[in-house]
Amino acid sequence: MADIAERTLTPAGGLGPDDQAPMSALAGSLGSPPARRLRQPSWLDLRLVLGVLLVLISIVLGARIVAAADSSTRVWAVRGDLAAGTTLTDDDVRVVRVRLFDDADRYLSSSASPAGRTISRSLGAGELLPRAALASQPSGRLVTLPVPVGHAPDSLHRGQRIDVYATSKTTGTGSPGRTDRILTGLPVQGVRAPRAGLSGGSTDYAVLILVPPDDVSAVIAALRTDVIDVTVVTGAS
């Protein structure tokens, strides 16, 4: 009777004490798994290391390919037309980058300056400077010719070849003097135009040339007594 009374006191449809224990065990077995914490990436991660290595290898290979494709060489080129016998200065040349392949040794590299060297043949503006065209400065004396305005072309400039004429000054009777060509085909090493102004100045061109040793005395004598004329030689090598 007591057992019947205990069961009667249990709510309808509910579980008795003997039935609740198995359900608690089942609920524990079906509970959520413990949460996993996110880990920070490690610099020693193998995938990260391989990726960095691949990027570095690509950069190195790309740089080597570009360097191999750029086979250009830096050499000298002349800025303007220069006659044979012109002694080069830094202003006469400029550095250019060109592809010469097997002919690179024929031209002067930009690592060596050609200033002070003399060219043995005429060179055109923009032409590369060949080694074979360079020579030591020839013997002679640098002489400045005073040339009056009107006795030289207005376009006279460094690097041209000129003939030099000497005309004896007018005699007392007014008869014209004699004209002789005293120098032939010499390169102009420099030109200074006349400088006139209120403060005074030269009214002559100052033409710098390298005179051969055997002609120096005759040229100096002509400068003292004669009027100097200059003509430009065209088509000369």
pLDDT of residue 4: 47
pLDDT of residue 9: 47
pLDDT of 73-105, one tens digit each? 889 999 999 999 999 999 999 999 888 777 788
SS3 190: strand
Residue 63 pLDDT > 90, yes or no? no
- Nearest CA to 90 out of 123, 112, 74 is that of 112
Region of poorest pLDDT, from 121-130, 140-149, 175-184, 194-203: 194-203
Q: What is the mean pLDDT of the chain?
A: 80
> What pLDDT band is residue 170 in, cutting at 50, 70 and 90?
low
- For the chain, which residues make up each domain, given as ranges? 46-137, 141-233
**Tokens at residue 131, please?**
């080694």
Residues with Cβ < 8 Å from 50, sequence gap 6 or more?
A: none
Residue 8 pLDDT > 50, yes or no? no
pLDDT of residue 19: 53
Residues with Cβ < 8 Å from 120, sequence gap 6 or more?
A: 84, 85, 132, 133, 134, 135
| pLDDT, greater one: 211 or 4 | 211
Residue 222 pLDDT > 90, yes or no? yes
pLDDT of residue 35: 57
pLDDT of residue 139: 81
| Spatial contact of 219 and 211, defined as CB atoms under 8 Å apart | yes
> How many helical (H) and strand (E) elements, i.e. helices and strands, does the chain have?
4, 9
Angstrom distance (rounded) from CA 29 to CA 80: 97
Architecture category of domain 46-137 in CATH: Alpha-Beta Complex (3.90)
pLDDT of residue 233: 92
SS3 88: coil
- Mean pLDDT, rounded, for 25-52: 62
pLDDT of residue 96: 93
- Mean pLDDT, rounded, for 144-165: 93
pLDDT of residue 198: 45
pLDDT of residue 125: 93
pLDDT of residue 194: 84
- Mean pLDDT, rounded, for 37-46: 61
E strands present in the chain: 73-78, 93-98, 118-119, 134-135, 141-148, 161-168, 179-192, 204-211, 226-233
pLDDT of residue 98: 87
- Nearest CA to 191 out of 157, 222, 217, 165 is that of 157
Residue 14 pLDDT > 60, yes or no? no
- Mean pLDDT, rounded, for 198-214: 81
